[in-house]
Amino acid sequence: MTTLRTDTPRAKPVHAMQPSGREIPGNRTFTFFREFFRSPRLLGTCFPCSKQVAAAMTDGIGLETAMSVAEFGPGTGAITPSILERINPDAVYFAIERNDVMAAAFRARFPQVTLHEDDARNIRTIMRGEGVEKLDIIVSALPWLIFPEEVREPMLTEAVAALKPGGIFSQITYFADSLPAAKKFRRLMERHFSEIRAVRRVWRNLPPAFVYHCVK
């Protein structure tokens, strides 16, 4: 039986999968805002996403039955509670965050979740360390629309390769889907995935968000 991976050698019991309730030092929104101006190309927005976005990202993607789940770019953990509320208690679940300040904030808030301070392009190497052959689900808050082409294409290729056939890629963007950058990213996703199952617009977010559920 697989279990939730943790930062300690022994896996925590099922009930430990709920958010710890511990708050990170200072204000999470301020941390996000500060880090955005330090590394705008890594964050894409200066505000963490809303609960409505977190629900749209995690509803209807099969977290309840998935056995292997990765979260890309969790930041301070705005989407993580929704994952923990829905996830199969026997699943392997880990997150990947490149920003060191965000990673520290995430660990302080979710000490029970394994966090890899790494680049999502290394997903398959990370999976080998986790003992995972293929992922059922990737939940991603990475700012793909502002990544340069030489980063975006290989990163999405690696994400798709990490998913099993029929696996789900849940992605948020912050640009209206009618804008050129969003249309270009949509075409990229259509090339890599067999189906874009849902596009949800979430107006109760700053800025308004668009959530894609893509199927390999």
Residue extents of the structural domains in the chain:
23-215
Let me know how many helices (H) and strands (E) the chain has, helices first: 8, 7
pLDDT in tens, 40-68: 444 334 356 788 999 999 999 999 999 99
pLDDT in tens, 148-163: 888 889 999 999 999 9
Q: What is the pLDDT of residue 199?
A: 77
Q: Residue 132 pLDDT more than 70? A: yes
The residue type found at 210 is F
Q: What are phi and psi of 32, to 5 degrees?
A: -65, -45
Please indicate whether residue 26 or residue 117 has the higher confidence score (pLDDT). Answer: 117
What class has domain 23-215? alpha beta
What is the 3-class SS of 90-118, one letter each residue? CCEEEEECCCHHHHHHHHHHCCCCEEECC
